[in-house]
Structure 1
Amino acid sequence: MKQEVKKSHGLCFLWLVVVVFVLDLASKFFILANFELYDSLQLLPIFSITYVRNYGAAFGLFLGQRWMLAIVAIVISLVVMRILYKSPKKDYLNNACFSLILGGALGNLFDRLYHGFVIDFFDFHIGDWHYPVFNVADSAICIGVILLILGSIGSPKRKDKVTS
């Protein structure tokens, strides 16, 4: 009797998706439990915890487009799940990057569906200038994308053959 060989794939990195999702939700529920809207706690001269609500996407784009943004997040999440499924288990960097992106996307999707807005609270500032306030999910997405880009620059997947 022939045994079927189970294909190993990047879905084994779903643990990282869960870690990002749980950290994101825990941090947001901490903010909700301890801060009123726009309350701010300065921790460093350039960094505060400031509770704000984002009704749009990154940097406040697409304000008021809750359902469109939710649908986009669902589609992106499904695409990333497919990428993880197709990816070999040993492609550690890409699997970790896509898992960070997926965990962040699901964290913000939860906010959008549950609250109707995304809870942001990391506030970097110098004087009166403030970088757009963000959260754990946004950080995971950005880290995942940056590492994907750096990984693709640093290690090409194929080498062109020279023909004579």
Structure 2
Amino acid sequence: MADGKPTLFSRPAPIALFILLALALDQAVKWAVDRYLPFEEAVHVIPMLALFRTHNYGVAFSMLSNMEGWFIVGMRLFVVAFVLWLWRRTPKDRFFAHLGYAMIIAGAIGNLIDRFLHGYVIDYVLFYTQTWSFAVFNLADSFITIGACAIVLDELLHARRAKAMKAE
């Protein structure tokens, strides 16, 4: 937004509401998965996509699963605090950056809730082929990934706008 108007997610109330709704959706899906999906049995949805409930003791996509639980909790809390700091410092007209921050915060808190409730994170989405499979993940992990992509997109758009304005 070249006119400098504040975007929706640059304000506290909309970002808080978005995060709460994303958390509710994430936790509702995980509750249903935990209750109705068999443990570590693939339920094939379409070719190359299965639901596969498993427990993740690490962070997104099972990274750092051999680390101590409190280290991971501390790391997630640090990420949330850092992203909140970035959100406050980012100019209010940067829509995709603010949206990305909201998504990262929602995803990190969603997985943090799992860690406190269960001692692990419930993962359930599996992409695969006959010879390859991606790490099992969940909606909160998707929020984090899409949020990071939104921030990168925002930076690219901002650089492009700055270059266009400089050329004028």
Q: Same fold per TM (> 0.5)?
A: yes
How many correspondences in the alignment? 155
The two structures have a TM-score, normalised by structure 1, of 0.84
Note closer, same or farther for the CA distance 1:87–1:154 as it changes in structure 2 (3 Å cut).
closer
CA distance in 2 between partners of 1:75 and 1:134 (Å)? 21
**TM alignment of 1:82-121, pairs within 5 A:** 82-121=85-124
Deviation by residue 1:5-42 (Cα, 9 ceiling, x = unmatched):
xxx95423222211221111111000011023213211
Cα contact 1:10–1:91 (8 A) shared by 2: no
Q: Which of the numbers 153, 157, 168 marks the counterpart of 1:154?
A: 157
Identity %: 27
Deviation by residue 1:104-135 (Cα, 9 ceiling, x = unmatched):
00001111111111100011011142100100
Task: Give the greater-gyration-radius structure (CA).
Answer: 1
Aligned-residue CA RMSD (Å): 2.3
- Quote the offset at 1:88 in angstroms: 4.7
Cα contact 2:126–2:136 (8 A) shared by 1: yes
**TM alignment of 1:9-158, pairs within 5 A:** 9-11=10-12, 12-64=14-66, 65-156=68-159
Q: Could you list the runs of 5+ residues in structure 2 that have no partner in the other structure?
A: 1-7
Q: Could you list the runs of 5+ residues in structure 1 that have no partner in the other structure?
A: 1-7
Cα contact 1:50–1:121 (8 A) shared by 2: yes
Cα contact 2:96–2:153 (8 A) shared by 1: no
Letter in 1 for 2:135: P
